[in-house]
Amino acid sequence: MSTADRLVESTRELLWERGYTGTSPKAIQQRAGAGQGSMYHHFTGKPDLARAAIERTAAEMRAAAEAQFAAPGTAVERVTAYLRRERDVLRGCPIGRLTQDPDVMADASLRAPVEETLGWLRGRLAEVLEEGRARGELDPALDVRATAAALVAVLQGGYVIARAEGSAEPFAQAVTGALGLLAGAAVTPPPGGRPPARPVPPR
């Protein structure tokens, strides 16, 4: 791994553990095993390095989510796979946690990949749910955008409550509750196959 990659990876870890304010250039250098000269050779400073780290974390988060969203199965099956995938719940969401860091939110360059990633997630969930509506798997009256926003809110809120209680159980309960509500919008297929596609009303 190159020095630049070690610096980025170390910054990613520290941002997740300590947040932006608690991550010092010295701590990054020590964890990466790199000197100050090496750090400033590759990056203009802590904000530049943090931006690279956040963008890499965001890209990995999107790729992991897309693996479930693009998989075979019904919309509910794919959303379920995404919501129930293995997570380090008590560490929180590496992107969502940054919204609680005032220095990140005050810096447009650092805030941008956070906003973009959460916006992408809402949009992608809405697309999956829209596919389910179009294929007759979900109630055509379902508001896919509002539902997608609610699912993201459940995830992020679940992380917060789990961390507050020191237990992953509240997160699991929140996911189970969200999936129960989504199941209420599912259309029961006729015997022998999926339901026929139904007209989707304009949003």
**pLDDT, tens digit (0-9, with 9 covering 90-100), for 167-179:** 999 999 999 999 9
For residue 62, is pLDDT > 60? yes
Q: Which helix (H) or strand (E) holds 161?
A: helix 144-165
What's the pLDDT band for 125 if we cut at 50, 70, 90? very high
| b/e map 18-35, b = 16+ CB within 10 Å | ebbeebebeebbebbebe
Round to whole Å and give the CA distance between 164 and 88. Answer: 14
Q: What are phi and psi of 36, to 5 degrees?
A: -60, -40
Tell me what the pLDDT averaged over the chain comes to.
91
Sign of CA dihedral 123, 151, 108, 35: negative
Structure-derived torsion over alpha carbons of residues 164, 115, 74, 143, reported in degrees to the nearest 10: 90
- The string of DSSP letters for 13-45 reads HHHHHHTTTT--HHHHHHHHT--HHHHHHH-SS
Q: Is residue 137 over pLDDT 60? A: yes
Q: What is the pLDDT of residues 85-110, one digit of tens each?
A: 999 999 999 999 999 999 999 999 99
How high is the pLDDT of residue 77? 96
- % residues pLDDT > 90 (the chain): 82
pLDDT of 202 over the 80 cut = no
Q: What is the mean pLDDT of residues 9-32?
A: 92
196 φ, ψ (degrees, to nearest 5): -65, 155
Residue 60 to residue 93: CA distance in whole angstroms: 12
Task: Report how far residue 167's alpha carbon sits from residue 183's, in angstroms, rounded to the nearest whole number.
Answer: 26
28's enclosing H/E stretch is helix 25-32
Dist CA 189 CA 153 (whole Å): 29
Provide the pLDDT for residue 193.
52
Cα separation, 8 vs 70, whole angstroms = 28
Which pTM value belongs to this model?
A: 0.86
Six token digits for residue 106: 């005050």
pLDDT at residue 188, rounded to an integer: 73
